[in-house]
Amino acid sequence: MSNIAAIFRMAVWRRIKEITRYKLNFTVELIMSFIWGLGLMIFGFIIDPAKLGSIGSSNYAVFLLIGVAFQNYQGAATWGAWEIKDELTRGQIEYTFASPVSRYVYMLSSSFSQAVVGTLFGIIPMFATAFILLGSLPSPSALLMTCVSLFLTFLALCQIGVIMSSAILIFKDISAVMSILNFLFQIATGMFVPLQFMPDPIRILAFLIPITHGIDLSRHFILGTSTVWPVEVELGMLFVFIIGIGLVAKASTFYLERKAKKEGLALA
């Protein structure tokens, strides 16, 4: 267990060192996280408050800001795959798979580190901006439940990251799949528009995407909006995603280990 903790700690340390190496660029990007939040206020002028109020809040600026903040977690589902792609291109991947480190843990650590970075330098600044626009802090219980929702979403997306990393070693190039994934995260999760206003087919698709429930629950606990599905169902689905997607992630790395022993993983 201590070895696994060390791998995760080093992965997070490496990502933070990478993004903070160039101080000016890092400072500007951090400031932009707050500016993005303030810039989103412009959308509040084109939304009918009465229509939005039907779901429990007419504060579209905060509603939108909470949704957009979750874009920072898209990297958790795709960053590990890009790192694996880089190792594959450099011819380093065989060395990685020959090391004694668990391949599942190695892949998971990449997504985990990106999720931590996304939380520290994206989610927290945007949520802080949301609280400023809201004019008050939610209750301690609401903040706790928001953190629980964020953490469960965080874990589910990390599992997707492992699957994407495995897929890139099997198919060599999955940029189109990752583009589709990013598109779904932004369009079919209620990130910009309440799912209550969308047609049933979109809501069915959204139900099967982990980030949907993280966004919906966070808005509910912070803004008091009504959830698309009962709170218990959405929390339960996040646990189901973590377990179900986690099993698929473990199976994908097991398959790759067998493939690596028989055929190797070099870029064809």
What DSSP letter does each residue of 41-82 carry, written as one string?
GGGGGSS-HHHHGGGT---HHHHHHHHHHGGGGHHHHHHHHH
CA distances from 222 to 101, 179, 225 (A): 40, 30, 8
Cβ pair 163, 253 in contact under 8 A: no
Whether 57 and 223 have beta carbons less than 8 Å apart is answered as yes
Give the model confidence (pLDDT) of 47-87 as tens digits.
Answer: 666 677 788 887 887 888 888 888 888 877 776 677 777 77
DSSP string, 111-125: HHHHHHHHIIIIIHH
pLDDT digits over 89-125, tens only?
A: 776 666 666 667 777 888 888 888 888 888 888 888 8
| CA geometry: angle 261, 267, 268, nearest 5 deg | 100
**Residue 127 in tokens:** 């949520």
pTM of the model: 0.84
Domain range list for the chain: 2-263
List all residues 6 or more positions away from 18 whose beta carbon is below 8 Å from its beta carbon.
Answer: none
Is the separation of the CB atoms in 222 and 70 below 8 Å? no
